Amino acid sequence: MGRCRNGSKTLVKVCADLQSYDTALVISDSTTVDVGLVIVEVVKEVTKNVSHITIEPFKMHGQEPPPPVAEKMKENSVVFGVTKMSMAHTKARQEATLRGVRYLSLPDYSMELLCSAALQVDFKELTPIVERVTGILSAGKEVKIMTSRGTELFIKIDGRQANSCPGWCHGPGTLASPPNVESNIAPLESESNGVVVVDGSIPNEQLGLIDSPLILKIENGQIVDIKGRSASVLEKILDSLNDPKTRILAELGFGLNPKARICGIMLEDEGCLGTVHLGFGSNSTIGGNNCIPFHLDMVLRAPTVLVDNRVILKEGKLTIL
């Protein structure tokens, strides 16, 4: 329990940079209320201005919260989003951060994750590395991703601004998802082509850790074919909204946390150093044009990644340090 409390202190005092004058809002659902209560307890050590709302669980990442909750988010200086499904890609979160709210996106959190070694990394020390990757992506035009499993994907990013996500809120209006440390960018929605072999995880209750790779064919930015043992499961998830926009390649992210491991928990998987993740569905809150209440990430192990023919990752090893 001590390590869990240390993890909570890291979230509150380092990642949220909570101060005595801040007002804080913790949002949990019926499946994560225990984690919410632990965070509230630590928040009270810093400021008495804290409220805790528990809502019904969402069905999918990217689903909008109830309007009264969305309004409440804009009224506080710090929000801890501890719902099982992520609100990071919602308009409510975007509107809150545009008003200067510091937002910690903490989906699928558990007492186990609070105890994880991945939360004990020095987030501030990693910030320059995150910024460096972000700068390379922002200046880039095309990304090529390859893996030994057979991934060969070309992604156009020309004109898009990458996002630096070092795992802590470094100023007003910033978003952090510790232990996830990443740099990400929204690809041009109709300009990605190739084959993706997903061999890490798809952080979703129905899939999780991948023990039998899924093979995706991407044409003009969309998944057009899926092969593999769990192909029908993934098809069902993508068809849950009856909207082809769920199949759009919406995000490319680089994990940069050296203490994270692929374990089936979204924020640790996405932040794992030596991986990339591809997000499908919504990207309007990270610089793209696809607006839909759906976002699904897929993690690839040990890729080689080139940005405009410059090697950034070689078989999972950063080459720009």
Q: 166 and 228 share a domain? A: yes
Instruction: Write out the residue range of the structural domain in which residue 295 sits.
Output: 121-318
Model pLDDT, residue 95 = 96
pLDDT at 266: 87
Does residue 262 share a domain with residue 170?
yes
Query: What is the CATH classification number for the domain harbouring 44?
Result: 3.40.1830.10
Token pair for 21: 């004058």
Domain ends where: 83, 115, 147? 115
pLDDT in the model for residue 136: 98
**One domain for residues 109 and 150:** no
∠ Cα 139 141 145 (to 5°): 110
pLDDT at 191: 96
Reported pTM: 0.88
Last residue of a domain, one of 95, 115, 135: 115
Compute the mean pLDDT over every residue in the chain, rounded to the nearest whole number. Answer: 94
**What parts of the chain have a pLDDT lower than 70?**
1-4
Sheet holding 142-146, edge to edge: 222-227, 214-219, 193-198, 152-156, 142-146, 304-307, 310-314, 317-318
Q: Is residue 188 helix, strand or coil?
A: coil
d(CA 94, CA 52): 20
221 and 97 housed in the same domain? no
